[in-house]
Chain A
Amino acid sequence: MTGKLKKVGAVLSMLLPMAAGPAAAQSSNPITIGVLTPLSGTYAPIGQQVKWGTELAVNEINAAGGILGRPIRLIYEDEEANPSVATRKAEKLFQSDKVDFLTGVVNSGATIAVGQVAERNDRLMATTVSLSDAITGARCSPNVFRVNAPGGMQALGLAAWIKQNNPKARVFAIGPDYEMGRNTVDGFVKQAKELGLNVVGQVFAPLGEKDYTPYFGQIRQARPDVLYTSTAGNDTVRLFTQLQEYGLRERLTIVGASVAVTAQNIGAIGAAAEGFVTVAGYSPDIDTPENKKFVADFRKAYNADPDLYGADSYGLIYLYKAAVEKAGTTETAKLRKTLEGFTWQTPQGPKSIRAGDHQAIMTVYVLEVRNGRFTIKEKIDGQTAIGPDTCERF
């Protein structure tokens, strides 16, 4: 009996190193994810949340044994909210760091440009922030996925909210003068006009504008009741504080894209942010156990509340994990096939990737700033908010 056991033990001990061998080799060979996100400049506050959300998910996954037994390694690069810088650094991440996957790109123009770099390198990427509808619409790419709510989804909810609360309002729109700003303002104005709202004007300021006061002349001249803005990061801080200094803030109801006011800049805006209304895919107040745990872990790690970027970036890493585990590989073609139509769990609730344009279908919320916090006013179902699939490339 003992002899037999000894024999089995001997066989096992011979087999074990063989079994452990490939596994050990694999774990010493981590999955690398490039995080190309703004670490400096106007959008640095956005990049900060992207970094935190991504890092938190990766730490949790690595502590639980990684993906297919392989740990995840993150490589950061500064996107600088600049498409030409972003493409150069994406090329570096794909070519010399050999990253398996890329995320973090914020500037919409950069996301479209980096998508082409990803195609050339036959690698997949995702954005957790970019708003331009073109990313999963007119300029969609088979290699690009988006897990955040795009501008169009938000425009629909916002225009409906204005219609419901102040149908006769004179509406004015302002946005940063590049891909994202042009696209979100156009999308919002189109939605507002379709609902019969009175749009009285629109103006674009360069990204990183320091002084918005020369723009106030046009705003005053149009005499709006509602101002829509898709400025983001520090730009919104300057826009709101200058509106207040010139006595215009109290005359206006300000609504805007989800990028405009977030956990990262709401403190700097202060009282001027009160009453701001947006439509976004996330609020720390979402009342589910998954979200409560996420918010608690996030606060513990970074001493700050997660905002939509943090939440979307966190959820993306779990999408990547679930899809790679289901596909059994990080290989591009197979993983793409798995991701299309894939449903996964996030602190925001379940999300699924629409196969036709790689846009995530998700619940969005009408949020209003009350006492410095985003409070949920309404919930819009993902299928209603998402709109038609306009991607024709695949």
Chain B
Amino acid sequence: MTEAIEYLQFVLAPQMLNGLTIGVAVVLVALGLSIIFGLLDVVNMAHGEFYALGAFVSMSLYGLGVSFWLALVLVPLIVLPIGYLIERGLIQRVYQHDQRHVLTLLLTVGLSIIMEDAFHLIYGPNTMRPENPLPGSTEILGVIVPNYRLFLLAVGAATIVATWLVIYRTRLGAMIRAAAFDKHMTASLGVPVLRVYAGTFAFGVALAGFAGVLLAPIYSVFPTMGHDFVLLAFTAVIVGGIGSFYGAVIAGLLLAQIQAISSLYISPHWSDPLLFAIMVAVLVVRPQGLFNWMGRS
């Protein structure tokens, strides 16, 4: 019995807690993706690069002497107008086309390549790592957890709840959902639909940028960092149900747990094929996603 408790405390609990922090990180990236996907019907292939953009902008801010805490607030505010301009200037130009899905996909793939190369040119190929703003660890019920990961959990959870509140409990959120549901009807009621679209896209990529700042002290900053989380985030969005807010959250946390627990037996970087196998199985058996019944926008 004591052995079982000891196993739980020393092996299972830390592993699952670690899985939870990774899950929250994945959900933070997946949320923006899911919002842009669900409300705008655009597959944003450059989402990972907006995540990287957030991290690189934060590195520049640190260089100017800005503190981590201020950067956490400033970076989304800097990424927001960039996202807005990209939506108005690029995506909206092909949005009305009947080949919309293909065109927006190609456009954002192109954008992601350009952004990655720009990071390479401006910041160089080397990995940078910001100082950990919360060093040290805390012991909770015999489990040692680094302070920064606890902070990540708290801020991540708060961000997820706040995003939910904005979309489902505010007038702005109602406008966004209405515009996604029936563009013409919403426009006829006096809602500036085009601006709502651009604003939603900007909000989605600002979330990615925010995740970039938040995760940089753990995962470092380098030009190809956009690929890392976005694959898992895409998987979460697809498994959870395209466009489903709850789906992305639950699937993100669940997949991270599957990864964490399977990592006790197989090499962690071999758990990726496992997750993608789950994604393929979901696409075959239930293409609308596991949780789509829980409430589409």
Contact B11 A217 (CB under 8 A): yes
Task: Give the contacts of B169-227 with A (CB-CB under 8 A).
Answer: 218-220
Q: Which segment of B67-75, B91-99, B256-264 sits at the interface?
A: B256-264
The answer to whether B219 touches A210, judged by C-beta atoms less than 8 angstroms apart, is yes
Closest to A215 in B: B268
Chain A binding surface SS class:
mixed
A343 interface hit (Cβ, 8 Å): no
Expressed in whole angstroms, the Cα–Cα distance for A210 and B18 within the complex equals 14
Bound-complex Cα distance A41 to B127 (A): 6
Residues of chain B in range 81-117 having any CB-CB distance to chain A below 8 Å:
none
B interface footprint on A204-219 (CB within 8 Å = 1, 0 otherwise): 1110111101111110
Q: Is B127 in contact with A234, judged by CB distance below 8 angstroms?
A: yes
Which of these, B137, B139, B265, B268, contacts A205 with CB under 8 Å? B268
Task: Report how far A335 CA is from B258 CA in the complex, Å.
Answer: 57
Q: Is A245 an interface residue (CB 8 A)?
A: yes
Taking a contact as CB atoms under 8 Å apart, the answer to whether B14 and A216 are in contact is yes
Convert A12-54 into 0s and 1s, putting 1 for each residue whose CB lies closer than 8 angstroms to a CB of B.
0000000000000000000000000000111010000000000
How far is the CB of B17 from the nearest CB of chain A, in Å? Answer: 10
Nearest CB to that of B256 among chain A residues? A214
- A394 is an interface residue with CB less than 8 A from chain B: no
**Interface residue? A164 (CB, 8 A):** no
In the complex, B2 has a CB within 8 A of chain A: no
| Interface residue total, chain B, C-beta cutoff 8 A | 29
- Contact A220 B127, beta carbon cutoff 8 Å: no
A220 contacts across to B, CB distance below 8 A? 10-11, 14-15
Nearest-neighbour CB distance to chain B for A264, whole angstroms, equals 13
Q: A2: which B residues are within 8 A, CB to CB?
A: none
Contact with B along A194-212 (1 / 0, CB 8 A): 0000000001111011110
Contacts of B220 in A (CB 8 A): 210, 238
Chain A residues, Cβ within 8 Å of B133: none
B237-260 to A contact mask, C-beta < 8 Å, 1/0: 000000000000000000000011
Number of chain A residues close to chain B: CB under 8 A: 27
The answer to whether B11 and A214 have CB atoms under 8 Å apart is no
Q: How far is the CB of A183 from chain B (nearest CB, A)?
A: 17
When distances are taken between beta carbons in the complex, the residues of chain A under 8 Å from B260 are: 214, 217
CB of A257, distance to nearest CB on chain B (Å) = 19
CA distance in complex: A216, B22 (Å):
14
Q: How far is the CA of A209 from the CA of B18 in the complex (A)?
A: 16
Given the interface pairs A214-B259, A217-B15, A220-B10, the reply to whether A44 lies near B126 with Cβ below 8 Å is yes
Q: Does B144 contact A (CB under 8 A)?
A: yes
CB contact between A221 and one of B11, B22, B124 (< 8 Å): that residue? B11
**Across-interface contacts of A44 in B (CB, < 8 A):** 126
Identify the closest chain A residue to B16 (Cβ): A217
> Looking at the complex, which one of A42, A177, A204, A216 makes contact with B18 (CB distance below 8 Å)?
A216
Q: Can you list 16 A-B contacts with CB-CB less than 8 angstroms, sorted by A residue number?
A: A40-B125, A40-B126, A41-B127, A177-B267, A204-B267, A205-B267, A209-B269, A214-B19, A215-B268, A216-B18, A217-B18, A217-B263, A218-B264, A218-B265, A220-B14, A247-B139
Residues of chain B having any CB pair with chain A under 8 Å: 10-11, 14-15, 18-19, 22, 124-127, 137, 139, 144-146, 218-220, 228, 259-260, 263-265, 267-269, 271
Q: Which residues of A contact B (CB under 8 A)?
A: 40-42, 44, 80, 177, 203-206, 208-211, 213-218, 220-221, 234, 238, 245-247
Given A211-B218, A214-B260: 13 more A-B contacts, CB < 8 Å? A40-B125, A80-B125, A203-B268, A214-B18, A214-B19, A214-B259, A214-B271, A215-B263, A216-B15, A217-B11, A217-B264, A220-B14, A247-B144
